[in-house]
Amino acid sequence: MTIAFGPVPSRRLGKSLGINNIPCKFCSYDCIYCQVGKTINKTTERRNFYNPYDIFSSVKEKINKIISENGKNSFDYLTFVADGEPTLDINITKEVELLREFDIPIAIISNSSLIWREDVKNDLLNFDLVSLKIDSTDCSLWKRINRPHEKLSLETILNGILEFRDDYRGKLITETMIVDIQYPEEAIEKTAEFLKEVNPDKCYINTPIRPPSEKITPPKKEILLKIIDVFSKIIGKEKVIPLRAFEGSEFILSTTNIEEEILAITSVHPIREKVIKELLTKKNITYETIEKMVKEGKLIKLNHCGETFYMKNIKSRKQF
């Protein structure tokens, strides 16, 4: 598989070169909104997945290819964002050490579930930016939304986040996904109060704008605005950032192997039909390429909120 992909436009990180360091789909959660699909291997066991030098080589090859075709390095971050939970990778610190050669800030997007472990906390301290998922501090909502591994304890995770915050000196952001379910007012306030205690640089409020693993839709506008208002009053308006907008179409595709490029991105990041058409037009490639990939079973079409998306036909999506 292709480990490095993109760069892709990120509403949090600018232009992000993705690093898919976990096979599909090893994760400690099975979130109802996950765009990668349902969890196939729900686990809390850290292990070897890929050789760190293979990850380094994949990133180096991608960087060199982008520079040769575009004349410059236009990445804001190298980002560990995977088909599963990236901290399940036991070699992640070694991989970060190797990637420092490129002198590009390194980020990780984690679901926070293993941060209570000393080894995971120490690994995360090596990153320039850490994004932690905190969807709710209410145990019943946590279980309903994130569907965690049975060995996990929400209280332990929350304590681990606070301990990490005390030691971390990089940029810390949090992400809270809001879906169309019932949120008790007390649960909203308690989550906001916890986030205030964490004191991240930014608290992002997200909604499922890409096709989720379940029949989940974004919340009603009035519900979302109410949650944003509660968060803003408790945490501070300057820190609370709603992520309702489309992330944009500033993907960078190499023309060397366009099919491989599309499959690498869409294994983690479903792409809107209109964006793919725009990208292919820029590269003077006909839309028949996509139709052929769908016919061959490499890509699947997904519909969400009135839009069509394309995604790699991965195992976790075959259960959808």
10 assigned to some structural domain: yes
71 assigned to some structural domain: yes
C-alpha span between 276 and 287 (Å, rounded): 8
182 assigned to some structural domain: yes
Quick one: pLDDT at residue 255?
Answer: 55
Which residue has better confidence, 13 or 169? 169
295 assigned to some structural domain: no
Owning domain of residue 26:
4-269
CATH of the domain at 166: 3.20.20.70
Quick one: pLDDT at residue 184?
Answer: 93
CA distances from residue 13 to 52, 64, 77, 130, 218 in whole angstroms, order as listed = 23, 21, 7, 11, 22
C-alpha span between 169 and 166 (Å, rounded): 8
C-alpha span between 41 and 200 (Å, rounded): 31
C-alpha span between 148 and 199 (Å, rounded): 25
Please provide the average confidence, as pLDDT, over all residues in the chain: 88
pLDDT tier, 319 (very low <50, low <70, confident <90, very high otherwise): very low
287 assigned to some structural domain: no
Question: Does position 87 have pLDDT exceeding 90, yes or no?
Answer: yes
151 assigned to some structural domain: yes
CA distances from residue 47 to 59, 86, 92, 201, 314 in whole angstroms, order as listed = 21, 11, 10, 31, 21
139 assigned to some structural domain: yes
What's this model's pTM, rounded to 2 decimal places?
Answer: 0.85
Of 7-16, 17-26, 182-191, 199-208, give the lowest mean pLDDT range. 7-16
Quick one: pLDDT at residue 250?
Answer: 57
C-alpha span between 65 and 57 (Å, rounded): 12
What are the tens digits of pLDDT across the range 88-102? 999 999 999 999 999
Quick one: pLDDT at residue 217?
Answer: 83
C-alpha span between 23 and 119 (Å, rounded): 21
What are the tens digits of pLDDT across the range 94-129? 999 999 999 999 999 999 999 999 999 999 999 999
Q: At 151, list the tokens.
A: 């060995």
Of 53, 142, 50, the residue nearest 97 (C-alpha): 53
150 assigned to some structural domain: yes
Domain count, the chain: 1
Q: What percent of the residues of the chain are helix, what percent strand, and what percent coil, each to the nearest 5?
A: 40, 20, 40
Quick one: pLDDT at residue 89?
Answer: 97
- Partners of 172 in the β-ladder: 130
Long-range contacts of 271-280 (CB under 8 A, 24+ apart): 271/309, 271/310, 271/311, 272/246, 272/307, 272/308, 272/309, 273/301, 273/307, 273/308, 273/309, 273/310, 274/249, 274/307, 275/249, 275/251, 276/310, 278/249, 279/249, 279/251, 279/253
What are the tens digits of pLDDT across the range 235-276? 999 999 987 655 544 555 555 677 877 887 777 778 888 888
C-alpha span between 216 and 10 (Å, rounded): 22
Residue with tokens 């976790």: 316
Residue range 198-227: average pLDDT? 88
195-199, 219-223, 315-319 — most confident range: 195-199
